A and B are shown apart, each in its own frame.
Chain A
């Protein structure tokens, strides 16, 4: 049981490049989500999914795509990176039991030059 695993942990991109941040969980959690965190801005929700095949937008979805083909994986795609997307990205999941807890990955630090 590895929890929530994010890769890569660090990435540097040039403006206009595309990339995918990977998120996987082995706990059979239905709910998964992506957040970005910028200094002084707290955690802002990008996209979330309440189960395989279901995704929805959060507070700041522009410039990001997601898909949820399996329960385990919830990748976040940047189609054309911009310097404004420089941030720390966290993936999180919720167990089916009603404990009010999100399990977070360790984060992915992305820099766009």
Chain B
């Protein structure tokens, strides 16, 4: 089983739609969790950290379920500019960052 697993997609949604991505991780000792965004041929950039209590940043909501070892990202009112690949990232140990393969989102007019 891979350390971090994501559905690669692509998820094709119209503008204004709500879309959700899930990610599962295998290391129960993982300490920190993040969602990164990567545009085509660009470097990954932090979208948001994921906290145990769940957290929201504008149209984006991240949730963590430690018991089931999964992380989710919800995007409301999708914009064309949200089209990108979303990478689930898990931190185990002091600084060991492990990335999922990413989920591609395509938002159409």
Instruction: Answer yes or no: are A and B bound together in one complex.
Output: no
Contact surface of A with B, Cβ cutoff 8 Å: none
Contact surface of B with A, Cβ cutoff 8 Å: none
